[in-house]
């Protein structure tokens, strides 16, 4: 059994095995949660990202993920994923679902017990918060049976708006799966 927990606050301080970064395909940092993670992790994370191979879609295509070390962060790994820029393609929901699914599968493959997600794409990528939360919750619920090592999944909401949306959809601040 696993629990999905709702947390209000900063993802960089979460005591979990892995935190997920809502990155851009360059993977070299940016604004929002990406900037906060790079600032807190320090130079080692940036340099590790710089060494990652670049393909036609940068270092990480939309919906995929890449695992790195965590520098000075309290977690073991950072899982960088790239959410869709809302409205730029037709399959936004599928791509956003892939971010959650692939990140969870990557954490499961490492045998991790806990993972924290930010509200991917709901900042500068402009995904409507309510729709994004529905996609996030269902992708996590659907993937958890394939990741038996994962016991805790945290949705870390930076603002009260996302927190209230998740609380309503989850019927409270925790959900046992
Ligand atoms: P995206 O480009 O995927 O939209 P953003 O970083 O702009 O990424 O926003 C994604 C979400 O991360 C937003 O809901 C934003 O409020 C949230 N966020 C920003 N900073 C932090 C942080 N330190 N911890 C957790 N969430 C954060």
The Cα 146–Cα 23 span in angstroms is: 24
83 close to ligand 1 (CB < 6 Angstrom): yes
Per-residue model confidence (pLDDT) at position 99: 99
Ligand 1 center from residue 122 Cα (angstroms): 7
Catalytic residues: 34
Per-residue model confidence (pLDDT) at position 89: 85
Per-residue model confidence (pLDDT) at position 88: 87
pLDDT tens for each residue of the chain, 177 residues long: 899 999 999 999 999 999 999 999 999 999 999 999 999 999 999 999 999 999 999 999 999 999 999 999 999 999 999 999 999 888 999 999 999 999 999 999 999 999 999 999 999 999 999 999 999 999 999 999 999 999 999 999 999 999 999 999 999 999 999
Ligand 1 center from residue 25 Cα (angstroms): 15
Q: For the whole prediction, is pTM greater than 0.85? A: yes
Architecture field, domain 3-176:
3-Layer(aba) Sandwich (3.40)
21 close to ligand 1 (CB < 6 Angstrom): no
The answer to whether 136 and 96 have CB atoms below 8 angstroms apart is yes
124 close to ligand 1 (CB < 6 Angstrom): yes
Per-residue model confidence (pLDDT) at position 150: 98
Q: Please choose from 13, 32, 132, 159 the residue to mutate so as to test ligand 1's pocket, defined by most ligand atoms within 8 A of CB.
A: 32
Give the SS3 label for residue 104. Answer: helix
Q: Please choose from 118, 122, 165 the residue to mutate so as to test ligand 1's pocket, defined by most ligand atoms within 8 A of CB.
A: 118
The Cα 22–Cα 155 span in angstroms is: 13
How is residue 118 written in tokens?
Answer: 């930010």
Per-residue model confidence (pLDDT) at position 46: 97
Per-residue model confidence (pLDDT) at position 122: 98
């Amino acid at each position: 059994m696993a629990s999905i927990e709702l947390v209000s606050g900063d993802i960089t301080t979460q005591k979990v095995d892995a935190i997920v970064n809502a990155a851009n395909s360059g993977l070299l940092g940016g604004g929002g949660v990406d900037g906060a993670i790079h600032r807190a992790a320090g130079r080692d994370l940036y340099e590790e990202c710089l060494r990652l191979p670049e393909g036609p879609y940068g270092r990480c295509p939309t919906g995929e993920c890449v695992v790195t070390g965590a520098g000075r962060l309290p977690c073991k790994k950072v899982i960088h994923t790239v959410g869709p820029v809302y409205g730029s393609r037709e399959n936004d929901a599928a791509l956003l679902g892939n971010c959650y699914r692939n990140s969870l599968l990557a954490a499961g493959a490492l045998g991790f017990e806990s993972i924290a997600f930010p509200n991917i794409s709901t900042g500068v990528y402009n995904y409507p918060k309510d729709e994004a939360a529905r996609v996030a919750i269902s992708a996590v619920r659907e993937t958890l049976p394939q990741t038996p090592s994962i016991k805790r999944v945290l949705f870390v909401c930076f603002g009260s708006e996302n927190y209230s949306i998740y609380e309503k959809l989850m019927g409270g601040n925790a959900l046992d799966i």
